[in-house]
Amino acid sequence: MSGHVNPQLVAEVVDLSPGAALDVGCGEGADVIWLAEHGWRVTAVDLSTVALERGAAHALEVGADVAQRITWLHADLTDWVPVAASYDLVSAQFMHLPKDQRQLLHRRLAEAVAPGGTLLVVGHHPSDLQTTISRPSVPELLFTASDVADSLAAEDWVILVDEARARSTLDPDGHTTTIHDAVLKAQRRG
């Protein structure tokens, strides 16, 4: 576990009122733990039981009050369906699947957002393929925020953020380079 919360999650969630959150593809749980530390009740979902076990152990190290706000769930996101309209926040950070599976996952995640709730999807932007940063060798795994926004019915959603957000990082040779995160934040109409 990197132990570092995704910066786009912090930027987009820090001002939201805590409630029930769903974090899919949670890995070892840095985002989950950050959410729980900020008062959210989090369902953390991942395919890796090892990652889930490490996340649960780390949550306990942070504190029992944090750990008790987290439910760790082992599931394959390509066929798992979350409970509809039951989360105030649904977050998918860097979930890169083939286009058809990704679109199905994003539809399911959108359906899981409660009225008035927030959908936050962040991923590697396709422009990153032009940098010296290693990215998946299958370009269709990358997407833009607009790709996600286009899948949301305008009568049901308000798009709050739809952008390629720049950030600096080091490439494998130690050179600073700019990459972009696709950031989609939408609120389900109440």
pLDDT tens digits, 10-37: 999 999 999 999 999 999 999 999 999 9
| CA angle, residues 177, 179, 181, in degrees to nearest 5 | 160
Distance separating alpha carbons of residues 143 and 96, to the nearest angstrom:
8
pLDDT tens digits, 62-105: 999 999 999 999 999 999 999 999 999 999 999 989 999 999 99
Tokens describing residue 34: 């950050």
Mean pLDDT for the stretch of residues 159-184: 92
pLDDT at 134 over 80: no
Distance separating alpha carbons of residues 18 and 11, to the nearest angstrom:
15
| CA angle, residues 81, 82, 84, in degrees to nearest 5 | 110
Mean pLDDT for the stretch of residues 145-153: 96
How much of the chain, in percent, has pLDDT values that exceed 70? 94
Q: What does the H/E/C string look like for the chain?
A: CCCCCCHHHHHHHCCCCCCEEEEECCCCCHHHHHHHHCCCEEEEEECCHHHHHHHHHHHHHHCHHHHCCEEEEECCCCCCCCCCCCEEEEEEECCCCCHHHHHHHHHHHHHHEEEEEEEEEEEECHHHHHCCCCCCCCHHHCCCHHHHHCCCCCCCEEEEEEEEEEEEEECCCCCEEEEEEEEEEEEECC
Cβ–Cβ < 8 Å for 112, 90: yes
**1 — pLDDT class (breaks 50, 70, 90):** very low
Distance separating alpha carbons of residues 40 and 2, to the nearest angstrom:
21
Going by C-alpha positions, the residue among 128, 167, 164, 142 that lies closest to residue 7 is 167
Instruction: Give me the residue label for tokens 């394959």.
Output: 76
Q: What are the residue boundaries of the structural domains of the chain, listed by start?
A: 7-188
CATH 3.40.50.150 for domain 7-188: yes
